[in-house]
Amino acid sequence: MRGKVFLVGAGPGAADLLTIRAARVIASADILFHDALVNPEVVALATRAEKVPVGKRHGRYSTAQAFINKRLIDAARSHAVVVRLKGGDPLMFGRAQEEIDALAAAGVEIEIVSGVTAALAAGATLGVSLTQRGLARNVAFVTPRVGKDEAVSDWASAVLASDTAVIYMGAGEAQSIANTLIARGVSPVRPVALVESASLPGEAQHVARLDQLGELSLRLGGGPAIIVLGEVLRDKLTQAQELPGANSAPLLRRPA
Ligand code: SAH
């Protein structure tokens, strides 16, 4: 094997949220494999590289995953710097372990470059700390999404046990998430936010009560969206309710 594979976090979207290390590695890539979610501006930083789009937005690619693994291994045979670019952080809900295991089994050297995960970018969009003294001492990152042959995950228990919960890949089933959580005993008036396209030009945020989450999700456009749930959003919710035309995104921005 002559090459090394870098699993690189592309961050939530904005190109300038890349780490300096990620930008350097991308610029030095000979070949770059990227997810559909990755901003084209970030991909464009790989000026020397052959660019290969892989993967689908909604993770329905269990056969393709084996193919991606194979392509990475093959690429390491003929290229010095192979970059596998994933949205956010590569180690969060990105099937990175399958790639790490396949590369390790093939004797390929791997380096992981962290990125800003969507949960943290969403916190920044909201302008709210996900932990707060006396209010939130833990944060759960969960997803209700499971792969085709995967066992059902008890994501709701993790949400119930956490002060702040961030739910990835859930915006499309917001109503059913709210129903499940309320049925499991979460207060229907718990504040919840939907953050869409955090750090990107189409960024939007919507805040309401958990029992309004389904309705709230109808305001989403087509960008990636994430759910944040917890008392840390109480002040945001109060502000949103006090404002006329509550929940239209621009009105939810903190007054300057
Ligand atoms: N590895 C990525 C997550 C991949 S799962 C990370 O660390 O962020 C894809 C999910 O991430 C989307 O369904 C959405 O819930 C969330 N997501 C990714 N980018 C986002 C963005 N810019 N704004 C809001 N949510 C985002």
123 lines ligand 1 (CB under 6 A): no
pLDDT at 148: 76
Q: What is the DSSP string of 138-184?
A: -EEEE-----TTSPPP-HHHHHHT-SEEEETT-GGGHHHHHHHHHHT
pLDDT at 132: 98
The encoded tokens of residue 100 equal 């790490």
Handedness of CA 185, 213, 163, 239 (dihedral sign): negative
Question: For each of the chain's 256 residues, which pLDDT tens digit applies?
Answer: 689 999 999 999 999 999 999 999 999 999 999 988 789 999 999 999 999 999 765 445 445 888 899 999 999 999 999 999 999 999 999 999 999 999 999 999 999 999 999 999 999 999 999 999 999 999 999 999 987 778 888 999 999 999 999 999 999 999 999 999 999 999 999 999 999 999 999 999 999 999 999 999 999 999 999 999 999 999 999 998 887 655 544 334 333 3
Packing angle of the helix pair 96-105, 62-78 (nearest 10 deg): 40
pLDDT at 251: 33
- Using the atom order of ligand 1, give the atom closest to the CA of residue 13: 22
* Cβ pair 128, 232 in contact under 8 A: yes
144 lines ligand 1 (CB under 6 A): no
pLDDT at 146: 87
Gap between the Cα atoms of 93 and 253, Å rounded: 29
Q: In this structure, which residue's CA is closest to atom 9 in ligand 1?
A: 169
Gap between the Cα atoms of 115 and 248, Å rounded: 30
CA of 243 to the centre of ligand 1 (A): 29
pLDDT at 160: 98
Close Cβ partners of 122 (under 8 Å, ≥ 6 residues apart):
12, 166, 193, 195, 198, 226, 228
Q: How many other β-carbons are positioned within 10 Å of the β-carbon of residue 186?
A: 19
212 lines ligand 1 (CB under 6 A): no
169 catalytic per annotation: yes
Close Cβ partners of 111 (under 8 Å, ≥ 6 residues apart):
4, 5, 6, 7
Domains of the chain, each with CATH number or no CATH:
4-113 (3.40.1010.10), 118-253 (3.30.950.10)
224 lines ligand 1 (CB under 6 A): yes
Gap between the Cα atoms of 103 and 249, Å rounded: 43
pLDDT at 60: 52
Gap between the Cα atoms of 211 and 31, Å rounded: 47
Best CA proximity match to 169, nearest among 237, 92, 63: 92
